[in-house]
Every structure is written in C-alpha cells, then in structure tokens.
Amino acid sequence: MPRTATALLAIPFLMLIAAGCGPRQTRLQYDRFASRALAREMGFGIYLPPKWDGSQRLPLLVFLHGGGDDERCLDRYHVTGILDEWILQGRIPPFIMVVPNGERGFWRNWHDGSHRYEDYVIDDVIGRVRQLFPVLPGRESTHLMGISMGGAGAIYMALHRPDVFASAAAISAPLFNTDQVLEFLNNFLWRTFARVQRIFGPPDRKRHESENIFTRVRSPADLRGLTLLLGAGTQDRSGLLETNRSFHEHLERLGVPHRYLVYEGGHEWKDWSRIFPVILCKHLAVDRPCTLPSDPFYKLEEFR
C-alpha cells in the first residue's frame, strides 16, 4: 500500500480523542471501585433492561467505548432509548450491559507494563458486575462489543481470551494488518507521541506479525467458538471501511465464519446507536429469527 494511503489510516487514531459532549441524561447506574489491575479507582456504568424485576438472571454485555469517551457515553448520546424500545417490543431479549471507563488506553495491556486495561476489564470489571447483579454464569452468556478504539479493543481482547466471551462485535474499528501497524508506528505523525510505543511497543515486525489479527485468525478453529461481527459505515473515518472490508475478505478466503455489516452512515453516535440493537439481536436472540428493520439505513447490510 502506498505510504500516503497508509498514512491516511492513522487519521482515525487522531480523531479518536476528539469525541464531543452532548446534553446529559441519566438512564444508567454508576459505580466506582478499586481496580487491582490499574491500581486505582475506576468507574463504570450499568444498563438494566426496562420492566426487569431484578430477579431473573440475564446475559452480560461488555461495551468498550471509543477514544475521548467514558462510562457515561450511552447516557450522553441518548443511546439507551432505542435499546429500551427493542427490548419492550420483544425484538431482543433483556440483558445487562456494563460500560467501563477505559480512558484512552486502547483497551490493551500496555507493552511497557504500566497499564493493564485488558486485565481491568476481564478480571476487575466483569468480576465486580457478577458480584452486584444476577448475570448468567459462563462464557456462553458473556458478550463483548466496541466502537472505534473500543472496536479494535474488542477484537483483540476476545482473541486473547476466547474462554471469556461467546461473541465479539467491532464497529468502525481500525483493523490493521501487520504492514499497516508498522506504518502507523513509524508514521511521522506519531514519532513524537511516545505513548503510542508505550502501548504497542516498538515497530518490531516479528512481534507485531505474531500478534496481528490477520495472523491470529487463519482458520475457523482459531476462533474457538467465538461469534465474530465487524463492520463500518459508508461515510466512516478515512481508511476504516477499507480495513474492515480487508479483514472481512481475509476471513472469507479462509472460510472463517463471521458477520459483516456495512451501514449507510459515518463515525457518529447517531449511526452507532442504530447498529447496537442489530448486533444484540444477532448475538443474543439465538433462539429466534433476527431480521433488520425496513429502512434504507440498512440497505447495504451483508450479514451472513
């Protein structure tokens, strides 16, 4: 890929830290606790379904936000209303969702060992939620979803720990192959941004090749039963639709089962909020048909 084209792929990372703030409303419950993995207090939000009496055990969805957001993003962007609507209509089953605050850590255990965001989610947050709420036990009832920075985090986290999650969904995520990762690390835009190498490590081809998602998933057996969904918008940030399509085509060539979604929209909460219930319908409503609304927004959907 030409350097100029690959350099454009770094632009979404610059934009990840530019999320805006909107009017606030409170639908989620919020909690703070001492994270052992991060050695400090962290916060998370909890979505509980409408008309739930608190006694029925429910599946757990872990949602990873994008750069610049925090645990209040679903309230900030009024996402919960559409989730309530689909549950009340019986289109998706009720569930509990936790939204951890992942700051701008890319949801990874940093290469330099200074931050352990993956351990924080898996060991601390999920453990805390299981203590406080009646979620169903086991991998088969635990799901992972993320957008943008959180989408990449969801894919890598689920591949690292397939024993924890039944499904993983990544929307508008930068899904780079090895060459693109190295180009990103070497790009002049980032040479003065020391934190990037603290997170991802130096541009060592052998190590990044072994860790890259294109390398890690080369056969259906590599998913170890994980249900995978990825997608992006037709007006998404520069390079994101192309990298998602490339990973989709990689999986297609190798016969790796997954779902791929292209939607008529961009890198915005107004679009993501309409995608969320569709993902939940596909991953949670396993005992019933799941059809998309009759809406031009979904006209490019390519679910398998």
CB atoms within 10 A of CB 57: 12
At residue 7, the pLDDT reads 43
Task: Please return the burial class of 210, using the count of CB atoms within 10 Å of its CB with bins 0-12, 13-18 and 19+.
Answer: exposed
At residue 301, the pLDDT reads 47
Question: How much is the average pLDDT of 5-25?
Answer: 43
At residue 284, the pLDDT reads 86
At residue 4, the pLDDT reads 43
Domain of residue 256, residue span: 3-302
Q: Give the separation between CA 191 and CA 184, rounded to whole angstroms.
A: 10
Strands of 142-147's sheet in order across = 29-35, 40-47, 96-100, 60-64, 142-147, 167-171, 227-235, 259-266, 301-302
Evaluate if residue 48 carries a pLDDT over 60. Answer: yes
At residue 163, the pLDDT reads 95
The total number of structural domains that make up the chain:
1
* pTM for the structure as a whole: 0.88
pLDDT digits (tens, 9 = 90+) for 135-151: 999 999 999 999 999 99
Question: What are the residue ranges of helices labelled H in 121-268?
Answer: 126-132, 149-160, 178-186, 194-200, 205-211, 213-216, 240-253
Q: Which CATH number do you get for residue 145?
A: 3.40.50.1820
pLDDT digits (tens, 9 = 90+) for 57-69: 999 999 999 999 9
pLDDT digits (tens, 9 = 90+) for 238-291: 999 999 999 999 999 999 999 998 888 999 999 999 889 888 988 887 666 666
Instruction: Report the DSSP beta bridge partners of residue 64.
Output: 146
DSSP per-residue codes, 222-245: GGTT-EEEEEEEEEPSTTHHHHHH
At residue 11, the pLDDT reads 41
Q: Sign of the C-alpha dihedral, residues 15, 238, 13, 26?
A: positive
Q: Give the separation between CA 199 and CA 21, rounded to whole angstroms.
A: 26
Question: How much is the average pLDDT of 35-50?
Answer: 98
